[in-house]
Structure 1
């Protein structure tokens, strides 16, 4: 069994916490709540960076990788089926109300069914897309020229999504002030060979590069300071984007549109990654807890969605008002049962693949 890398485990724990924090929100309309919510957009990109860091530093066994990719698809289909018969009834929607073709499309081609909330599964779909092209990049990784190509595609994928989004926002702002006419960059999407998930492929490749690059200025202190500065710039930038788009500096109950496609999230995710890189946990109990959660983030990711629909409506009735504390409590209340059920399921043959991939 491959030895775990502590700082990557730390990043995974931060990431799953951010992901669960921004689902089933119990927050008041305050500026700190808004800042915390925009921070959550770094969670999924960091998951991709960790995956890249791990996969690019392991030998490529093509047959094993193909089996793993197929398994990701099968598990995704299985969870879509589980959600159909759990989230559906919890939302008072009967699976019998859908036609056969609707259900087949929903299960096997990533379609949607009215009332069956599965929007969070886009992460697994993106991961599947990245796994499909990974062998090509992994083969190139062992060559100096190949690594330069990989870095180019990492930058290209992020710029063709996050960069174009930022540039379009700038053009729209100038247009709104009457300084220029209407310009749309939508046609440039044709130059993006990786389509919808190009930025996630970029984060995946970027994570491999950051993981294997030398320490910044040969100093962990300098590297962590750089990471903190990038994180702060990214966080303030994301807050600024949300403020600009919603015209409100406080949390307004509405998620940022295309939150993963804004440039500041790149700074935030990279900053947290650099700040954490090389971190070691001295306390054995804390290290054991971090490892336990980090090794079960997939199960927590899938299961917290069901517990959210089960528990949060009742939790909301317990509070006279919402704030950051109530949302933190909700986050812990979803992670703990999802973690415990993952522990149980991973001991059952075949079923364990639902939570271990």
Structure 2
């Protein structure tokens, strides 16, 4: 059994809670879309980048058996397909707000949505499977002695995701102040980009692998051939300041998008803007070095082992909570101010997270059923 890195479990715990919190804001009844609620959802913008970066940190520095890797990929596809069938059954029977056809089910199983039911969260698993399908090729570039091709791949991915969309945002802001459409200038650049809408996912996996290799060498006290010595100069304190600055910039971006485009709670293209990218790197670098022992380590290990189960269960939990909020018991939430209701919503989100975690941890120990909670 591979030794777990507690720092990665901590990151997965934080990222998973952020995922639940972000979806909570859209699928429950009394969430405030004012500044207080938005301040929380903007905090969650690093959730998906962190997950893919941690996957890269875990997978790329290790030796890879290609045959075993594709067997694991096939297992993931089968497990995700079963979860899609379970989700389709849940939303059809519990919600039942509109009919669906076998064609809708086929589209859902092949990667699309399930009619108008809230099953869009499966996009993450579709993206993860896409990464696993090409991971051996990425691993070859990652391990190559000559790093020119690998660095070129990173440069292309960064330029057409973080670079292009951050530049587009700056041009949008310039256009807002001058009443000109500058942002459309960069739209044709997509004609030269082969990786599609999941290119930023590959970027986070590869950069996560680079940071993961550095952290592995640090843990093993081996710095031979390590070209990232400068990372050792980024202290936890400096990293925290950098993360705070990135968060502040992201919140300001959201406020700009809200004022100009009516965007609520989310950040348009938030996963691949420069502040999110930098914050993800700093969080992975800092928490990846965390070394705690005892009960704390055990807790984060349990969460880290059950993030897949929590992810698969959390939307059902949020739908059920939304049903409960229709009862008179929760009417008082509609009269609370935005700060108070945001704090209460955060607590309720923690309850949903804990319930899903407990369910996953319990069911993963049951023969056969447990396979649905283990990737």
TM value normalised by structure 1: 0.89
Q: Which residue of 2 aligns with 1:340?
A: 358
Q: Per the alignment, in what secondary structure is the counterpart of residue 146 of structure 2?
A: helix
Q: 1:62 aligns with which of 43, 59, 66?
A: 66
Deviations 1:118-155 (A, max 9, x none): 11111111111111111012123333324x53344234
Q: Which residue of 1 aligns with 2:225?
A: none
Deviation, structure 1 residue 45: 0.6
Cα RMSD over matched residues? 2.5
Q: Which residue of 1 aligns with 2:107?
A: 105
Q: Which residue of 1 aligns with 2:346?
A: 328
Deviations 1:154-200 (A, max 9, x none): 34323312321222222233333337555332221122221111111
Superposition map of 1:1-357 within 5 A: 1-25=1-25, 26-93=30-97, 97-107=99-109, 109-146=110-147, 148-178=148-178, 182=182, 183-213=184-214, 222-247=234-259, 253-282=264-293, 284-315=294-325, 317-318=329-330, 319-320=332-333, 321=336, 323-357=341-375
- Is this contact kept in 1: 2:254–2:263, CA < 8 A? no
Is 15-24 or 179-188 further displaced after alignment?
Answer: 179-188
Is 315-324 or 1-10 further displaced after alignment?
Answer: 315-324
Deviations 1:264-286 (A, max 9, x none): 1112211211221311113x111
Q: Per the alignment, in what secondary structure is the counterpart of residue 246 of structure 1?
A: helix
Q: Per the alignment, in what secondary structure is the counterpart of residue 23 of structure 2?
A: coil
Deviation, structure 1 residue 75: 2.0
- Is this contact kept in 2: 1:87–1:309, CA < 8 A? no
- Is this contact kept in 1: 2:57–2:209, CA < 8 A? yes
| CA shift in 2, pair 1:157/1:186, >3 Å | same
Deviations 1:314-344 (A, max 9, x none): 2475243352321221222111221122123
Is 271-280 or 123-132 further displaced after alignment?
Answer: 271-280
Is 27-36 or 184-193 further displaced after alignment?
Answer: 27-36
Q: For residues 205 and 48 of structure 1, what CA distance do their matches in structure 2 show?
A: 9
Structure 2: give runs of 5+ residues left out of the alignment: 219-227
Q: For residues 302 and 152 of structure 1, what CA distance do their matches in structure 2 show?
A: 36
Q: For residues 226 and 156 of structure 1, what CA distance do their matches in structure 2 show?
A: 28
| CA shift in 2, pair 1:177/1:324, >3 Å | closer
Is 263-272 or 39-48 further displaced after alignment?
Answer: 263-272
Structure 1: give runs of 5+ residues left out of the alignment: none
Deviations 1:193-235 (A, max 9, x none): 2111111110011011112226676786843233213211210
Q: For residues 238 and 9 of structure 2, what CA distance do their matches in structure 1 show?
A: 21
Is 13-22 or 161-170 further displaced after alignment?
Answer: 161-170
TM value normalised by structure 2: 0.85
- Is this contact kept in 2: 1:226–1:274, CA < 8 A? no
Q: For residues 253 and 166 of structure 1, what CA distance do their matches in structure 2 show?
A: 19
